[in-house]
Amino acid sequence: MAAYLTHQQKVLRLYKRALRHLESWCIFRDRYRFFACLLRARFEEHKDEKDMVKATKLLMAAEQEFWEKQHPQPYIFPDAPEGTSYERYDCYKVPEWVLEYWHPSEKAMYPDYFAKREQWKKLRMESWEKEIKQLQEETPPGGPLTEALPPARKPGHLPPLWWDYVTAPRHQP
């Protein structure tokens, strides 16, 4: 993820936040669509603005207006952070090593996945020493400054500890 957002990304995120808060203000769908079209027209008015100073001032004014008019209790989707069902199914996520104990008849139901998994395991065994060496070389003497892992060093190479990304469980059962 980039450290800084572009102007376009900021505008798009503001537009989406404004639409979501508009949904909280307008209960009836027809009324919501009317105001959403008006909001879209306001954004479209300045979409071809070439002067970045003016565009930045417009964005700041829009963010200020959004702040003043935002809903006091916006709708939060149940599965979103702070939602009522957020992380509800985490207890059902099983670690990847459990698949080692499946019966061969169970593994036979998913031949493609287990064939790919065997390739991953082989690749993991081959790349493990290089990954650990890279981590040791890039870790400062006082220990790591953040929890972020270093990226892959060359295109086509794997980042250290890639196994956790490849075998991550699904979000919902």
What average pLDDT does the segment 55-62 reach?
94
Q: How confident is the model at residue 173 (pLDDT cuts 50, 70, 90)?
A: very low
Q: What integer pLDDT is reported at residue 170 of this predicted model?
A: 58
Distance between start and end Cα atoms, the chain? 27
What's the pLDDT score for residue 1? Answer: 45
* 146 band by pLDDT with thresholds 50, 70 and 90: confident
Q: 4-18, 81-95, 145-159: lowest mean pLDDT where?
A: 145-159
Query: What one-letter code names the amino acid at 151?
Result: P
Long-range Cβ pairs for the range 63-67 (8 Å, 24+): 63/14, 66/14, 66/17, 66/18, 66/21
Cβ-in-10-Å burial (0-12, 13-18, 19+) of 119 comes to exposed
**Residue 79 clears pLDDT 60, i.e. is over it:** yes
pLDDT digits (tens, 9 = 90+) for 98-144: 888 999 999 999 999 999 989 988 988 888 888 888 888 877 788 77
Report if pTM > 0.75: no
The answer to whether residue 172 scores a pLDDT higher than 60 is no
What percent of the chain has pLDDT above 70? 92
Alpha carbons within 13 A on the beta-carbon side of 78:
3
Sequence-ordered list of residues with C-beta below 8 angstroms from that of 35, at least 6 positions apart, any chain: 22, 25, 26
Residue 107 confidence (pLDDT): 93
Are 11 and 59 in contact by the 8 Å Cβ rule? The answer is yes
- The stretch 9-34 carries a mean pLDDT of 95
